[in-house]
Amino acid sequence: MNTVIPIAVDGTRQRKRQAPRGRRVDPAALDEVRTVLGHAPRRRDLLIEHLHALQDSFKCLRAEHLAALASEMNVPQAEVYEVASFYHHFDIVKEGEDAPPGLTVRVCGGLSCELAGARALLDKLPGILGTDVRVLEAPCVGRCEQAPAVVVGQHPVAQATSESVLADVLSGQTKHEPHPYTGLEEYLRDGGYALLRACLAGEHSADDVIRTMEDSGLRGLGGAGFPAGRKWRLVRAEAGPRLMAVNIDEGEPGTFKDRTYLERDPHRFLEGALVAAWAVGIDAIYIYLRDEYHGCRAILERELALLAKAPPVAGLPAIHLRRGAGAYICGEESAMIESIEGKRGMPRLRPPYVAQVGLFGRPTLEHNFETLHWVRDILTHGPEWFTQHGLNGRQGMRSFSVSGRVRDPGVKYAPAGITVRQLIDMYCGGMQDGHTFYAYLPGGASGGILPASLGDVPLDFDTLQPYGCFIGSAAVIVLSDQDRAVDAARSMMRFFRDESCGQCTPCRVGTAKALALIEQPRWNTALLGELSQVMRDASICGLGQAAPNPVDCVIRYFPQELA
């Protein structure tokens, strides 16, 4: 028998490939992957969900399991690896490497926790817990009012001390039992889903509901502030099928309002989402939940199962719960959609906008959790119920996540237009003992830093822009005379450098360069100004565009710290 040897164009001989490119699939690893996935569909958009399943089962992602997963899902190995390596919460173990310890303790390194002593915990815990426990600094775990916050496995520890963390580790307390909350039965007993029933029974028209939302003036409460009613109308005008994506990623340091409401009253949000779906003509709802919110995930899994088993009305759209994997960038609407589709969370170029071409290429109504949380009350009580509130010429109510040097941090439901000084004195019990109000971040990490001398500026959409700041998701972090704005800016820029998705050069390089410049004893303010302008003008999404805000504010309002 003659052997055919392929000849290349240049005349050299080529060997015929005996196997496809990439790692060979280990049969044992393939069996393990199939056992973990069970009967779950192998669809491409479920890649991140399947990675979570493997990580939960084996406490890491081994190279042989990634290869087997790629084979099982008929996805290139390189694609599986690039998705897994994009997200912070996936631990990839390469061939020959040791797996990480079975238990991970995450110490929040966000600004509020840093003010409360997180750095000392990070220094002390490794020596106390030993080599069988991995201690990591987390960028933010969404529990700023509980600073310093630590997560042992999946169990959050509020106002953590080395003793309380050690006690949890020794007791094996690594799961998060949900906070007591209003379940489906109680929610129905208190009149829940009556609005949804009325809508589907024809007692309200979709046009009337959308008009009420427009009249209320409710704006998106995730940070962008786009009018909710107008968004409903825009998406409804697009050709179907239409989808909804709900953002509960809440990764902005200082923000924890969505978690607080979800832990207590999940069906108020779900009813709001279902009413919006009815009004806009939505075929399916996708909920994107932050991975750190283990208790909230348990609540939603339980209540969505109950809702599917005994729906209050027939014909509800399917509701899919998707799990984030530790990437702040996925709070950006198009990056979140990419993640829901099982991809890296890279923001999309616009246009087209998400309302036109969003999830799976369909027109998509994207909303923050809290925006939908208030839909039921606004439609039940009328737009005047919402607009009658407000201070300093503003209308409506706001949920402020307040943390830092105040005596009583937490979510404060207060009139729009309230000042930070009023918020501290009337809702937070004043400053902590021995601390004097010095400065504040009005909108989390990206909202800028203002001095106490500007503590009477109304906190609302469009009121802070003249000062180089914005309210965003209303995450207020209060600093005292024992803190420095320079240190806060460095903390924020470290966060942005680590959380940049890396897609565009102005953000990827700009955040790293800005951090290097502000870590110097003396700042090159002229160079920082040029860098800030480039990042604002050329970054693809809001992360790079807003990252310079804290630095610009320090230069503008705190020159004494740079002297």
pLDDT at 223 over 50: yes
pLDDT at 474 over 80: yes
- State whether 368 and 292 are in the same domain: yes
Report the CATH number at residue 69.
1.10.10
- State whether 215 and 344 are in the same domain: yes
Q: How much is the pLDDT for 162?
A: 96
Q: How much is the pLDDT for 178?
A: 78
Mean pLDDT of 155-173: 94
Q: How much is the pLDDT for 504?
A: 96
Cα separation, 107 vs 102, whole angstroms: 17
**Distance of CA 546 to CAs 124, 427, 511, Å?**
34, 28, 11
- State whether 222 and 341 are in the same domain: yes
Q: How much is the pLDDT for 222?
A: 87
- CB 438, CB 452: distance < 8 Å: yes
pLDDT tens for each residue of 366-405 = 999 999 999 999 999 999 999 999 999 999 999 999 999 9
pLDDT tens for each residue of 298-329 = 999 999 999 999 999 999 999 999 999 999 99
Point out the domain boundary residue: 383, 409, 430. 383
Report the CATH number at residue 445.
3.10.20.600
Backbone angles phi, psi at 193, to 5 degrees: 70, 5
Q: In 463-548, which residue ranges form alpha helices assigned H by DSSP?
A: 485-499, 505-518, 525-538, 542-546
Average pLDDT, the chain: 95
pLDDT at 219 over 70: yes
Q: How much is the pLDDT for 507?
A: 97
Q: How much is the pLDDT for 488?
A: 98
Q: How much is the pLDDT for 532?
A: 98
Q: How much is the pLDDT for 175?
A: 81
As for how many domains the chain has, the answer is 5
Q: Write the single-letter amino acid at 27.
A: P
Burial class (CB in 10 A: 0-12, 13-18, 19+), 433: exposed
The model's confidence at residue 14, banded by pLDDT at 50, 70 and 90, is low
Burial readout 460-499 (b: 16 or more C-beta within 10 A, e: otherwise): bbebbeebbbbbbbbbbbbbbeebebbebbbbbbbbbbeb
- State whether 208 and 288 are in the same domain: yes
pLDDT at 447 over 70: yes
- State whether 341 and 414 are in the same domain: no
pLDDT at 459 over 80: yes
pLDDT at 18 over 70: no
On whether residue 436 sits in a domain, the answer given is yes
On whether residue 12 sits in a domain, the answer given is no
pLDDT at 1 over 50: no
Q: How much is the pLDDT for 37?
A: 98
On whether residue 398 sits in a domain, the answer given is yes
Q: How much is the pLDDT for 9?
A: 54
- State whether 125 and 243 are in the same domain: no
Dihedral of alpha carbons 464, 211, 244, 311, sign: positive
pLDDT tens for each residue of 76-128 = 999 999 999 999 999 999 988 999 999 999 999 999 999 999 999 999 999 99
- For the record, the structure tokens of 554 come out as 């320090």
Report the CATH number at residue 117.
3.40.30.10
Q: How much is the pLDDT for 422?
A: 98
- State whether 488 and 477 are in the same domain: no
Cα separation, 270 vs 248, whole angstroms: 12
pLDDT at 417 over 70: yes
On whether residue 217 sits in a domain, the answer given is yes
- State whether 269 and 338 are in the same domain: yes
- State whether 276 and 188 are in the same domain: yes
Q: What is the DSSP letter of 325?
A: -
- State whether 477 and 501 are in the same domain: no
pLDDT at 448 over 50: yes
Backbone angles phi, psi at 403, to 5 degrees: -145, 180
The model's confidence at residue 22, banded by pLDDT at 50, 70 and 90, is low
On whether residue 330 sits in a domain, the answer given is yes
pLDDT tens for each residue of 264-301 = 999 999 999 999 999 999 999 999 999 999 999 999 99
- State whether 458 and 359 are in the same domain: no
Point out the domain boundary residue: 360, 383, 406. 383
- State whether 304 and 204 are in the same domain: yes
pLDDT at 19 over 50: no
- Look up the domain containing 38 and give its range: 27-93
On whether residue 3 sits in a domain, the answer given is no
More reliable by pLDDT, 12 or 246: 246
